[in-house]
Amino acid sequence: MAKSTSHSQTLEQLNALLAERIVILDGAMGTMIQNHKLQEEDYRGERFKDWHCDVKGNNDLLVLSQPELIKAIHVKYLLGGADIIETNTFNATTIAMADYDMQALSAEINREGARIARQAADEVAAQTGNPRYVAGVLGPTNRTCSISPDVNDPGFRNISFDQLVEAYVESTSALIEGGADIIMVETIFDTLNAKAALFAIETVFDQIGERLPVMISGTITDASGRTLTGQTTEAFYNSLRHIKPLSIGLNCALESKELRPYVEELSRIAECYVSAHPNAGLPNEFGGYDETPEEMAEVIIQWAEEGMLNIVGGCCGSTPTHISAIREAVLRHAPRTLPEIPVACRLSGLEPLTIDQNSLFVNVGERANVTGSAKFLRLIKEEKFEEALDVVREQVENGAQIIDVNMDEGMLDGAASMTKFLNLIASEPDISRVPIMIDSSKWDVIEAGLKCVQGKSIVNSISMKEGEEAFIKQATLVKRYGAAAIVMAFDEQGQADTRARKTDICTRAYRLLVDVVGFAPEDIIFDPNIFAIATGIDEHDNYAVDFIESIKDIKATLPHAMISGGVSNVSFSFRGNNPVREAIHAVFLYHAIQAGMDMGIVNAGQLAIYDDIDKELKDKVENVVLNLPCPVADSSNTEQLLDIAEQYRGDGTQVAKKEDLAWRSWPLMSACLMRWLKALPNLSTKTPKLRVLKPPAHLM
Ligand code: THG
């Protein structure tokens, strides 16, 4: 029986119900099926009596072989007071069905599972006069996209993002065909699997030209409060918010008592409704669950009293009696009111990273870049991944809050290298606690990267260099993968170099992103291009000023958009002289941050402090960065800086003008820089006065 109401009407009804009271979800299917003590032949039924392998335990198959039994369980939950029932399709993806060699039945099981639930819901709705809803369930599958099944090979995966998407597209379409009102992604162990499910759901919504409400429910697997793949509750939410779910919640694993702090956390941070469906206690020695309906209701009533809940039901071990008791207990309490959550860029690795107006400058570590670090390139080429990971770890230890990863080098297979390295990073919790910035000028490399990260990452970068159509297409995908994006000030004419061009291009990109793509403005990070200054070419003299001035324009006119840039670019003309480069970075950042720069790709741990820079050096650098009139007749700021640059080089052979070598006391003079300096070949002390250096194109 097909429903007569449209999906948008259903959503309206559901929203009205959620505004009015706590909504009741059903309980466990497995426990109810177990009570029937079904045998192999019961699972097979008539249709599968000759199936070539055992199917006992394939509970989802029962929608085909024992449809009446499954429908009767749904009816019990509905009569017990469930407003929403979940389809019996937890393991019905092609991936999980492969255990029984039944992958070809996946679509049919999902469709029938939804149809049976729909019939039950509509019949009870007609009897009782209040509407009931069907949540089409997508389970986690039996494979994890973020974890290697082989302890000796942490970069290995036995399932890919694309395979998951394909399976979830099939399940989702079938659930909707069968009559589901809601799509529910539940018991999420691995957020990357869930991101694939959301990607698939969006793909199907696109195909059918309609959207259904989406419920998301994760699983905290231990008392430390993390998912199986190591995310905290907030990091988990940040990874999945992009689909604008109807609700976010937690289910399974912990008993209700232990689940509480995490439901409370979601209740505090989520702008959508919050759900919980805990187990009826922990499994006993026989695998059963002992918490009585009264015991379970007693814990849950406290959550309701404190206004934490919008949707509540039960997971393993719960029965219609549990659901009735919970309903009885919570209905006296008002539902949680949706909080006003301030707009902010909310990223995550294993842990959340929120960037808002009050945030300090965010450091993005630049060293995991094959074009930006000779050492990193060598390590990747030689497949010395342990050492390459050490480079990244060192960045995080030195204060990088995000890690930029770039594999754009002619000799490398960019997509394969990106995949390999991000998979390796995923198994290093001390690195993967921070969000990843996927850096490539090639879209296929970016997309390969997006398929490896469970957190909310940043794409670096997209732009209008190939026109609006390609830009819109890429931005739509970035949104679907749930990432923020760096948008370069780059259009069909090329990279913007003046303040006016920078501001104009960013404004045009912003309007397309926000108005056409529906991109969240707080997920837009503009990079108005940091180019090298003091190169000896007059046209380059105002580059830093143009960048800084454009920040002010963008911040004043494009709400919530942020600003980033590759800071080390600005000092390319002083390559080989790190102390001077660091001074240029410090002065540049001092002014750019004041203008509103939110984050930058930097050599974390080697950032000098503006106030600590030797006065003479600082003045000359300031003249260069701000393109001030040169105080010396017949000279230039660049020449003036070059004049003193050598005495700051710091290779030990130069005679410093002053005994106190300011840079030596800089906090940035870390062991790693000292090593780097020692490794330098003996550079000639006779540096030509004016070096005209062009920064390599790939770094600009
Ligand atoms: N904007 C955006 N992304 C970017 C850039 C940008 N990504 C790449 C680059 N520019 C930012 N990253 C770096 C990394 C390293 C250096 C500069 C920018 C660098 N490296 C030393 C050098 O080349 O002298 C490396 C020396 C070595 O150790 O081998 O300066 O602008 N969105």
Helix/strand/coil (H/E/C) assignment for every residue in 311-357: EECCCCCCCHHHHHHHHHHHCCCCCCCCCCCCCCEEEECCCEEEECC
Let me know if residue 590 belongs to a domain. no
Rounded to 5 degrees, what are φ and ψ at 402? -145, 150
Three-state secondary-structure class, residue 587: helix
Q: Are residues 304 and 376 in the same domain?
A: no
Q: Are residues 384 and 265 in the same domain?
A: no
Atom of ligand 1 nearest to the CA of 369: 14
Question: Which pLDDT value is given to residue 687?
Answer: 27
CATH number at 34 reads 3.20.20.330
What's the domain range around 668?
Answer: 662-699
CATH number at 410 reads 3.20.20.20
Pocket flag, ligand 1, residue 213 (CB < 6 Å): no
For CA atoms 13, 19, 21, 25, the dihedral sign is positive
Q: Are residues 199 and 322 in the same domain?
A: yes
Pocket flag, ligand 1, residue 527 (CB < 6 Å): yes
Q: Rounded to the nearest 10 degrees, what angle do helices 191-208 and 233-240 cross at?
A: 20
Let me know if residue 624 belongs to a domain. no
Ligand 1 mutation pick, 404, 458, 569, max ligand atoms within 8 A of CB? 569
Dist. CA 54–CA 56, nearest whole Å: 6
Q: Report the nearest-CA residue for atom 25 of ligand 1.
A: 373
Q: Which residue has the tokens 């059963």?
A: 288
Question: Which pLDDT value is given to residue 59?
Answer: 98
CA of 561 to the centre of ligand 1 (A): 23
Q: Are residues 356 and 324 in the same domain?
A: no
Q: Report the nearest-CA residue for atom 13 of ligand 1.
A: 372
Ligand 1 mutation pick, 364, 366, 441, max ligand atoms within 8 A of CB? 366
Q: Report the nearest-CA residue for atom 28 of ligand 1.
A: 373
Question: Which pLDDT value is given to residue 257?
Answer: 82
The two three-digit tokens of residue 295, written as one number:
């015991």
Pocket flag, ligand 1, residue 571 (CB < 6 Å): no
CA of 422 to the centre of ligand 1 (A): 19
Residue 258: count of CB within 10 angstroms of its CB: 17
Q: Report the nearest-CA residue for atom 30 of ligand 1.
A: 568
Q: Report the nearest-CA residue for atom 7 of ligand 1.
A: 566
Q: Are residues 235 and 163 in the same domain?
A: yes
Question: Which pLDDT value is given to residue 4?
Answer: 53
Cβ-contact 432, 422 below 8 angstroms: no
Let me know if residue 117 belongs to a domain. yes
Pocket flag, ligand 1, residue 439 (CB < 6 Å): yes
Q: Are residues 354 and 278 in the same domain?
A: no
Kind and range of the H or E run holding 9 = helix 7-20
Q: Are residues 85 and 16 in the same domain?
A: yes
Question: Which pLDDT value is given to residue 689?
Answer: 27
CA of 419 to the centre of ligand 1 (A): 21
Q: Are residues 62 and 115 in the same domain?
A: yes
Q: Report the nearest-CA residue for atom 23 of ligand 1.
A: 372
- The DSSP 8-state label assigned to residue 630 in this structure reads P
Ligand 1 mutation pick, 373, 440, 550, max ligand atoms within 8 A of CB? 373
β-pairing verdict for 311-312 and 273-279: parallel
Pocket flag, ligand 1, residue 573 (CB < 6 Å): no
Atom of ligand 1 nearest to the CA of 576: 24
What separation in angstroms does the CA of 93 have from each of 52, 139, 203, 402, 520? 20, 8, 16, 34, 31
For CA atoms 536, 542, 544, 547, the dihedral sign is negative
CA of 699 to the centre of ligand 1 (A): 5
The two three-digit tokens of residue 86, written as one number:
């979940």
Q: Are residues 254 and 390 in the same domain?
A: no
50-85 tens-digit pLDDT: 999 999 999 999 999 999 999 999 999 999 999 999
Ligand 1 mutation pick, 371, 601, 700, max ligand atoms within 8 A of CB? 601
Peptide bond into 173 cis (omega under 30): no
Which residue, of 436, 456, 476, is where some domain finishes?
456
Let me know if residue 378 belongs to a domain. yes
Dist. CA 38–CA 48, nearest whole Å: 15
Atom of ligand 1 nearest to the CA of 527: 32
Which residue, of 426, 456, 486, is where some domain finishes?
456
Neighbouring-strand partners of residue 185? 138, 216
Let me know if residue 537 belongs to a domain. no
CA of 517 to the centre of ligand 1 (A): 30
Dist. CA 158–CA 162, nearest whole Å: 12
Q: Which residue has the tokens 């207990």?
A: 329
Let me know if residue 23 belongs to a domain. yes
CA of 439 to the centre of ligand 1 (A): 11
Residue 57: count of CB within 10 angstroms of its CB: 14
Q: Are residues 240 and 380 in the same domain?
A: no
CA of 160 to the centre of ligand 1 (A): 31
Let me know if residue 469 belongs to a domain. no
- The DSSP 8-state label assigned to residue 225 in this structure reads -
Atom of ligand 1 nearest to the CA of 564: 32
Pocket flag, ligand 1, residue 569 (CB < 6 Å): yes
Q: What single-letter amino acid sits at 288?
A: G
Q: Report the nearest-CA residue for atom 11 of ligand 1.
A: 566
Q: What single-letter amino acid sits at 562?
A: M
Which residue, of 433, 456, 479, is where some domain finishes?
456
Rounded to 5 degrees, what are φ and ψ at 293? -55, -40
The two three-digit tokens of residue 200, written as one number:
């698939």
Query: How many domains are contained in the chain?
Result: 3
CA of 590 to the centre of ligand 1 (A): 19
Dist. CA 598–CA 364, nearest whole Å: 11
Among 461, 439, 526, residue whose Cα is nearest residue 489: 526
Q: Are residues 301 and 358 in the same domain?
A: no
Cβ-contact 460, 490 below 8 angstroms: no
Q: Are residues 315 and 402 in the same domain?
A: no
Residue ranges of the chain with per-residue pLDDT less than 50 = 1-2, 652-700
Q: Report the nearest-CA residue for atom 19 of ligand 1.
A: 372
Residue 508: count of CB within 10 angstroms of its CB: 15
Let me know if residue 27 belongs to a domain. yes
Q: Report the nearest-CA residue for atom 3 of ligand 1.
A: 566
